[in-house]
Amino acid sequence: MTAHAEPERELETETETMTVREAIRQALREELDRDEDVYLVGEDIGRFGGVLEVTGDLWEEFGDERVRDTPISEAGFMGAATGAAATGTRPVVELMFSDFAGVSMEQIMNQMAKMRYMFGGKAEMPVTVRTTEGGGMGAASQHSGTIHTWIAHFPGLKAVAPGTAAAAKGLTKAAIRSNDPVFVFENKMIYEQQGAVPTDEDFTVPIGEAAIEREGDDVTVVATQRLVGESVQTAESIADDVDVEVIDARSLYPLDTETIVESVEKTGRLIVADESPLSYGTHAEIVARVQEEAFFSLDAPIQRVGTPDTHMPFSPPLEQEVLPSGEDVREAIERVA
């Protein structure tokens, strides 16, 4: 048994420009190389290279034992990974689309999330679940949901949602090294987004730590996934009029409340931009924490940018109508600045 969780750390190091997809694949390759107890499981991740080509050529490099194709049974392979993690291995599950989590929710909610608690802390659960979410591909409602709030809600589970290539690599590696179950939510529309990614094999992003992607003094935008890049672009386009600070939340649970509150205490204005439905979700959690800890710093009502409380339409024009965008962030800024 060689599995060992190392302290999470973020290093200053040389970088290479790569896409989010390439950054995740590099993270998987490095962790497969580093720890023989790490292996990948999921539908079509082997010879096919993944439905969205994230695992790519890893099967050719590591073979069937380390990159395992599974039957089309989310409940089956999620349960198998949960049991295997309880024995000390480090499975990395690819759940093809996050909407399919419903099929395997018994294994996630009642086994994976509760096993450490039910056994008095004696059982570790080092399992990582990678999954895609979000609209924009015309893939209809059963392949376009944004469910990360659902998972972040359950005690015993951690949830991260990177918005940059560097965060995608660092959080994936941190998840695999964690001794707790971690869900990595990958927005499928930013797989081709490029960014500078540290090449150091020990680079990780600490789970529970946000990143300030653009500094500013007038308005704070806390964004996730695709909306991080679009919020930065929006901020740059209006920089002559409003100085916007953009924070990539990166980790949904645990949430880096301290970084968000410090920013709001500086700017006095907050916008939360997340693709999940607006009601009872990520937006509400961030708003509540700021209300509790920085209410008297607020100079304007907090604004939310997200998907209306509806499923994602199949029709491309309707899909674009409901998807939140950088333009929605700009309008929210104009309402409070």
Which residues does the annotation mark as catalytic?
A: 74, 143
In order of 285, 295, 317, the CA distances from 138 in angstroms are 29, 40, 9
Q: Of 76, 106, 109, 102, nearest to 91 (Cα)?
A: 76
Give strand ranges (E) for 79-193: 90-95, 128-133, 158-160, 182-187
In order of 66, 136, 178, 197, 217, the CA distances from 201 in angstroms are 19, 33, 16, 11, 35
The Cα–Cα gap between 260 and 212 comes to: 9
Helix residue ranges, H only, the chain? 20-34, 58-62, 74-86, 105, 115-118, 148-152, 165-177, 226-237, 257-267, 282-294, 316-322, 326-336
Contact 253, 150 (CB under 8 A): no
The Cα–Cα gap between 181 and 199 comes to: 25
The Cα–Cα gap between 151 and 325 comes to: 24
Pairing of strands 251-253, 15-19: unpaired
Provide φ and ψ at 149, rounded to 5°.
-60, -40
Q: Which helix (H) or strand (E) holds 68?
A: strand 67-69
